[in-house]
Amino acid sequence: MALIEVRDLAKNYRCGDETVEALRGIDFDIETGKFITIMGQSGSGKSTLLSVLGGLNHPSRGTVQIAGIDLYALPGEKLADFRSSTLGFVFQSFNLIPYLSALENVMLPLAISRMKGKDKRAAAGEALARVGLGGREDRLPNALSGGEQERVAIARAMVNRPDILFADEPTGNLDSKTALEMMHLFRALNDAGQTVVMVTHNPENCGYSDRTIHLKDGLVVGKGGSGSPRDFLTPVSPGVY
């Protein structure tokens, strides 16, 4: 059984009197421990796809199963609980809480857990160490560089040891050198066993992933692969990445 199974996924938005089809019925599977990039031009539906996979956006049609659980069949706040325990998010603008220190930002997902305070600090410290940011725990986000903020965001996403790490354009706001460092970091995390699903518009980032899902107009158009040419011509049948 694949870690993520997507079947006939569709998402529509109302835009005034018009209906916009952001996703038009896509199918794919993602295995445990893989590093998958999702590529597409602006308006292709890649951010919508990530939000649906992450349990943040109810699809108009279709199912998303993660570890055998139908995500959107979960009742009420169980979906929030599932996100808390199973998924980690790295946002494009890092979205660190400005009035919390680096350590407190990393501990944020643990604020609703029943762990003891010292255990929370230990877990957060370990997460920061894994992303190479030891020694700057007490700094506020505005005292950190872009790369450091990115590392804090990744550590926050990792602190609960999620099954899947979702990242939305994590290098979008970074300079090329720092972006490179971040991609190496994601690769290293994946090498250590972390499943990573990353949205990116930078073709160079695809070189770090196992496979790339190409989206165009809400449909998957090519399997892609690490360093392989992209095929935008034909929709792909359900496949495993």
Partner 1 sequence: MKLHNISFNNLRRRKAKMAFLTVGLAVGIATIVTLITLTDSMSGDVERKMDEFGANILITPQQNGLAMNYGGISLGGVTFDQKEILESDLSRISTIKNSRNISAVAPKVLGGVTMAGRQVLLIGVQFDKELKLKQWWKLFGEAPKADGELLLGSDAARALNVMIGDSLEIKGERFKVTGILEQTGSQDDSLVFVRLAVAQRLLGKVGRINLVEVAALCSGCPIGDMVLQIAEKLPDAKVSAIQQVVEGRLKALGQYRRFSWAMSGVVIFIGSLIVFVTMMGSVNERTTEIGVFRAIGFRRSHIMRIILLEAAVIGLLAGLLGYGAGMGGARLALPFMAEGKQVALCWDTQVAFGSLGLSLGLALLASLYPALYASRLDPTEALRAL
Contact positions toward partner 1, by CB under 8 A? 47, 50-51, 54, 56-57, 77, 80-85, 87-89, 91-93, 95, 97-100, 104, 107-112, 117, 120, 124, 156-157, 168-169
- Beta carbon of residue 233, minimum distance to partner 1 (angstroms, whole number): 29
- The token duo for 157 is 């996403």
- Beta carbon of residue 98, minimum distance to partner 1 (angstroms, whole number): 7
- Beta carbon of residue 165, minimum distance to partner 1 (angstroms, whole number): 12
With respect to partner 1, which residue has the nearer C-beta, 121 or 230?
Answer: 121
With respect to partner 1, which residue has the nearer C-beta, 5 or 168?
Answer: 168
- Beta carbon of residue 237, minimum distance to partner 1 (angstroms, whole number): 27
AA identity, residue 87: L
With respect to partner 1, which residue has the nearer C-beta, 97 or 129?
Answer: 97
- Beta carbon of residue 231, minimum distance to partner 1 (angstroms, whole number): 27
With respect to partner 1, which residue has the nearer C-beta, 137 or 223?
Answer: 137
AA identity, residue 221: V
With respect to partner 1, which residue has the nearer C-beta, 160 or 190?
Answer: 160
Residue for token pair 């949205």: 199
